Amino acid sequence: MIESSSLPERVKARSLSIFRLIAEAEGKIHGMDPADVHFHEVGAMDSIVDVIGVCLALESLDIGEIIVSPVPTGTGRLRMAHGLYPIPAPATAELLRGVPLSSFTAQGELTTPTGAGIVKALASGFGPLPAGTIDLIGYGAGTKNFEHPNVLRAVLYQEERSAATEETIVVLEAQVDDTTGETLGYAMERLFEAGALDVYYTPVYMKKNRPGVLISVLCHPANCDRCMETLLTETSTFGVRKSNWQRKALERRWIQIETPYGPLRVKQAMDGERLIRQAPEYEDAAQAARSFGVPLEEVYRAVHKKLN
């Protein structure tokens, strides 16, 4: 349903990532292939709307990075289709592996498998709110009554960045000489879903003069374990090299301009308040080219004409 929809590409990718993680967790709990998992509640329309609604909201707000507080799970027992289970539910616990949990305790289920899947798939990091300026705040209240307020808060903020922004990223590397092109293509998709900033392949010659591929993955430290696990499970490598690098990154921001092909986003690279360069957002331009039946370069020219 998601793949055949007209949803924006990033919404599709994020939604599929969430459902794939939930299917993998359910599959592991039930001892079956994720493709054979029957989703129970997760497959119900309300959960589909929950997941896609979250991803659409993030798209509307143009959210690129998501920081999540340590996750509270609740205590007690929960009656499920398979009987009475301790909280967190088995699928929730599986999804939250590697995710920092809150010490906050309350009787009842505070995090569902759907919520855990959203957090696991979309969070680029966990912890307190980073330094920055708060822009907007939203509150969502649940229908279940607890002794504490059953409220989720989302804060939209601008992260504090200096003109010369430096950050630590992790570089993961692995070489393979027995992995097919199809497998490498799929592995790249899974790595981006795991939070990779960039993935690229380099032709190399390996032992016994065999042609092979060097897989390079860039990611934030918070996503290192997920990316490393993806490399080990989705490729034929027996090991992964890991190193920490410092990089200077220009701040990215997006503006929207009106063109003969509709409103299109433009990505700008900023050094403090100084504009370094700007370019049309590819997905917007490609969609406009398909919709109007014109070459992509024609859409690009229209954007640059507006910008100049």
65-123 confidence digits (pLDDT tens): 888 888 888 888 877 766 777 888 888 888 888 788 887 778 888 888 889 999 988 88
The structure's pTM equals 0.56
* Residue that is written with structure tokens 């990089």 in the block: 247
Candidate from 33-37, 221-225, 281-285 with smallest mean pLDDT: 33-37
pLDDT at residue 154 in the model: 92
pLDDT at residue 42 in the model: 46
What is the homologous superfamily of the domain 166-248 according to CATH? Transcriptional regulatory protein pf0864 domain like (3.30.70.1380)
Task: Give the residues across from 271 on adjacent strands.
Answer: 274
CA separation for the pair 304, 307 (Å, rounded): 5
**Mean local confidence (pLDDT), 256-271:** 86
Do the beta carbons of residue 209 and residue 180 sit within 8 Å?
no
Quote the mean pLDDT of the chain.
85
**Mean local confidence (pLDDT), 35-39:** 65
Do β-strands 125-126 and 67-68 pair in parallel, antiparallel, or remain unpaired? parallel
pLDDT at residue 160 in the model: 64
Domain range list for the chain? 9-128, 166-248, 251-307
Residue with more model confidence, 65 or 197: 197
3 state SS of 238: coil
Is the pLDDT at 163 greater than 80, yes or no? Answer: no
Ranges of beta strands (E only) in 160-229 are 166-176, 196-205, 211-219
3 state SS of 142: coil
CA separation for the pair 121, 118 (Å, rounded): 5
Is the pLDDT at 295 greater than 50, yes or no? Answer: yes
pLDDT at residue 161 in the model: 57
Cα 286 to chain center, whole Å?
22
